[in-house]
Amino acid sequence: MARHPLRLGALDFGFTSATVQHAQVPHLTVEAARHADALGFSRYWLGEHHHGSAPFGPSPETLLPALAALTRRLHVGVGAVLLNYYRPLKVASHFKLVESLFPGRVDLGIGRGQADNPRSHRALTGQELVPGSLADEGAYAQSLEELMAFLGDGFPEGHALYGAACPKLPAPQVWMCGGRTAGTLAARVGAAFCLSLFHGPVSPDPAVVEHYLTHFQPRAPGDTPRVMLAVAGTCVEDAAGAERAREGWKEFRFYPPTIVGTGARWRDEAEVLRERYAADELLVLDIARPHEDRLASMSRLAEAFV
C-alpha cells in the first residue's frame, strides 16, 4: 500500500532581520501565510514568546482571524499557548469563537513553557519567577483538564466549576506541544501531539511517541492519535546558503537547527524522522533571513514535499 505524502506546515516565531521595523512584521506574517496557502502547506502556526523581538509574540492568537480570512484553506493556530499564564476559560472562549468563524481551520496548541525573562513573568503573573515554579505537572494537568472541559461539554454537577459560562460553540483541534509530558497528557485527554525536535540538545526518545500512540484515549468516537514533528531549518540551493542560514540562526540562541539543506536532503532526512517517530507531518520553523529568503525556502520545501 502506498504511503500518503508527508504533510508540511509552517511555524512562525516572528523573528526578523534587524532592519525590519516591528510594525512591518504582522504584514510580513500575513504575506508568508498566504504564500504557504498558495503552495499547499497544511497549516500556519504562530509561536507565543515574551522576549520582545517578535511583536506578535505576547498575543499571537489576535492574528489568527486575519490569517484565516486572508487564506483559503490553511489551518491557522498558535504553537503554543503557554497555559500556565492563562485561565482555561479565557483560552477556550477565544479559540471557540475563532473556530466558529472558520470551521475546521483552527488549531489550539498548548505548551508548558515560560516567559523568556523574569520581568516578563512578573508582568504576566504579578509574582516573582521562582525556579521550578512552572514545572508542577499536577497543576498544569489540572489546567489542561479544565480547558478540555470548557472546550467540550463542561463540568459534571458538583464540580467547583459546574455552571461556569463558556460559549456553546465548536471547539478547535487541540495539539499538545513539547516532549515527554506533552505526549503523556495528549494521550490522556485525546489530543493530537506535536513533538519538538529543536528545543533540546539531543533528539527526543521515540518511546515518547510510542507511549502516546499506545495510551491514546479518544475523547469522542472516531478520534485517532496524530503525530507532528516541529523542526527548525531551511531549504537552500547550495552550501553557501546553508552557511548563511546557520550563522543568522545563532543570534536567537536556540539549539542547532534540525535540517538545513537542499530539497533532496530534506526529503531524505524527513523520511528518517518519519520512520523514527511515526509522524505524518512536519511543522517547519524556517530560519532563513531576510523575509524574501524565507519565502524562497518555503517554495523549495513545497516543491520537495507538496
Question: What are the pLDDT digits (tens) for 268-297?
Answer: 999 999 999 999 999 999 988 889 999 999
Question: What are the pLDDT digits (tens) for 82-129?
Answer: 999 999 999 999 999 999 999 999 999 999 988 777 888 888 878 887
Beta strands in the chain (DSSP E): 7-12, 43-46, 75-82, 106-111, 173-178, 192-196, 227-235, 259-261, 281-286
Bridge partner residues of 111 (DSSP) = 82
* Region of residue 276 (phi > 0: left; psi between -120 and 50: alpha; otherwise: beta): alpha
The per-residue pLDDT for 2 is 46
- The pLDDT > 70 percentage for the chain reads 95
Q: Closest Cα partner for 65 from 51, 47, 78?
A: 78
Angstrom distance (rounded) from CA 148 to CA 88:
8
Q: What average pLDDT does range 150-159 have in this prediction?
A: 93
- Per-residue pLDDT at 54 exceeds 90: no
Structurally, at CATH architecture level, domain 7-305 sits in Alpha-Beta Barrel (3.20)
Angstrom distance (rounded) from CA 147 to CA 294:
35
The per-residue pLDDT for 132 is 64
Give, in degrees to the nearest 5, the angle at Cα 223 between 281 and 40: 30
The per-residue pLDDT for 254 is 64
Angstrom distance (rounded) from CA 80 to CA 77:
8
**Burial class of residue 197, CB neighbours in 10 A (0-12, 13-18, 19+):** buried
Q: What average pLDDT does range 25-50 have in this prediction?
A: 96
Range in 47-51, 54-58, 163-167, 182-186 with the lowest mean pLDDT: 54-58
Residue showing cell 493556530: 77
Question: If DSSP codes are grouped into helix, strand and coil, which group holds residue 223?
Answer: coil
The per-residue pLDDT for 1 is 38
Angstrom distance (rounded) from CA 148 to CA 268:
37
Give, in degrees to the nearest 5, the angle at Cα 137 between 133 and 139: 75
pTM here is 0.94
The per-residue pLDDT for 57 is 86
- Per-residue pLDDT at 252 exceeds 70: no
Of 299 and 56, the structure prediction assigns the larger pLDDT to: 299
Q: What average pLDDT does range 49-71 have in this prediction?
A: 90
Angstrom distance (rounded) from CA 266 to CA 89:
40
- Per-residue pLDDT at 253 exceeds 70: no
- The pLDDT > 90 percentage for the chain reads 71
- Per-residue pLDDT at 130 exceeds 80: no
- Per-residue pLDDT at 250 exceeds 80: no
The per-residue pLDDT for 119 is 85
Residue 160 phi, psi (nearest 5): -60, -25
The per-residue pLDDT for 51 is 77
Q: What average pLDDT does range 175-182 have in this prediction?
A: 96
- Per-residue pLDDT at 33 exceeds 90: yes
Q: What average pLDDT does range 228-257 have in this prediction?
A: 80
Question: What are the pLDDT digits (tens) for 15-32?
Answer: 887 788 889 999 999 999
Question: If DSSP codes are grouped into helix, strand and coil, which group holds residue 259?
Answer: strand
* Domain locations in the chain as residue ranges: 7-305
Of 119 and 223, the structure prediction assigns the larger pLDDT to: 223
